[in-house]
Structures are given as C-alpha cells and as structure tokens.
C-alpha cells in the first residue's frame, strides 16, 4: 500500500518512483498519520 502511495505521489510531480526510498516513504506516512491523530475534532 505504501509503495502505491509513493507511485501516486511521484508521477504527477515528475519523479521516478523507483528512485524513491521505501523507508523514507514509511517515515513520511507515519509522520502524517501521527500529526493528524494529534488534531482534536
């Protein structure tokens, strides 16, 4: 699922998804999820 997110994000930006780090992608997703969880409704 994370690799699919990387591909979806890379294509419109013109980046080669094969050159994107899976580990860095996991870190970005984890950061976004925890940041969103910190926002109270």
pLDDT tens-place string over residues 1-41 = 778 887 887 878 788 878 888 888 788 778 777 777 766 66
| pTM for the full predicted model | 0.51
Give me the residue spans of the domains in the chain.
Answer: 2-37
What angle is formed at CA 24 by the lines to CA 35 and CA 37, rounded to 5 degrees?
15
Measured CA to CA, the distance from residue 25 to residue 6 in angstroms comes to 7
């Amino acid at each position: 699922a994370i690799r699919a997110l990387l591909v979806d994000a890379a294509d419109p930006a013109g980046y080669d998804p094969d050159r994107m780090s899976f580990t860095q992608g996991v870190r970005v997703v984890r950061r976004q999820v925890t940041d969103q969880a910190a926002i109270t409704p």
